[in-house]
């Protein structure tokens, strides 16, 4: 789920210290400081979809660890994948997205429909890796787009 800054801005990854957009900027060789709409268009042009695993949840603050497990509702990713059968890879931005997907969505999908891989979280709370290490790990999404 988006954090408070993203929900307030109605934009994915709006927190100023989240490295998602700098990673995408580096991967797609975008101009720094593009408006949000242009960054979304760049993702579409690169054939990269961006969607939350969860449709709703209750969480005080922005930490994934604070999500109330009884409150979450998963997005209908199964229908999305039916509508877009060319999607063969799902990449998770961190452990919570992956665990929610595996618990609430994967059981609804045919086995082997998509490959799944967790990437290092772009969250400022995940400081175990440097920006360059995260960027390097995220390069796999370019190799697996086709």
| Cα separation values, 86 from 75, 114, 140, 142, 146, Å | 19, 10, 17, 15, 8
List the one residue out of 68, 73, 81 whose CA is nearest residue 104.
73
- CATH fold of 4-143: Uracil-DNA Glycosylase, subunit E (3.40.470)
pLDDT in tens, 51-105: 988 887 566 655 566 666 676 888 899 999 999 999 999 999 988 889 989 999 9
pLDDT of residue 46: 95
pTM: predicted TM-score of the whole model, two decimal places: 0.85
Averaged pLDDT for residues 36-55: 93
Per-residue pLDDT of 113-146, as tens digits, reads 999 999 999 988 777 899 999 999 999 999 866 5
Q: Return the domain boundaries, the chain.
A: 4-143
């Amino acid at each position: 789920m988006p954090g408070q800054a993203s929900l307030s801005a109605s934009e994915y990854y709006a927190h100023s210290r989240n490295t998602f957009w700098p990673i995408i900027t580096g991967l797609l060789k975008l101009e720094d400081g593009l408006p949000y709409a242009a960054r979304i268009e760049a993702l579409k042009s690169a054939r990269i979809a961006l969607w939350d695993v969860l449709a709703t949840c209750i969480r005080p603050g922005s930490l994934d660890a604070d999500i109330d497990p009884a409150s979450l509702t998963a997005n209908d990713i199964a229908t999305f994948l039916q509508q877009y059968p060319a999607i063969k890879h799902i990449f998770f931005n961190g452990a919570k997205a992956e665990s929610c997907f595996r618990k609430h969505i994967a059981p609804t999908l045919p086995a082997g429909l998509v490959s799944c891989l967790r990437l290092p979280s772009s969250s400022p709370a995940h400081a175990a890796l440097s920006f360059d290490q995260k960027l390097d790990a995220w390069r796999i999404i370019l190799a697996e787009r086709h």
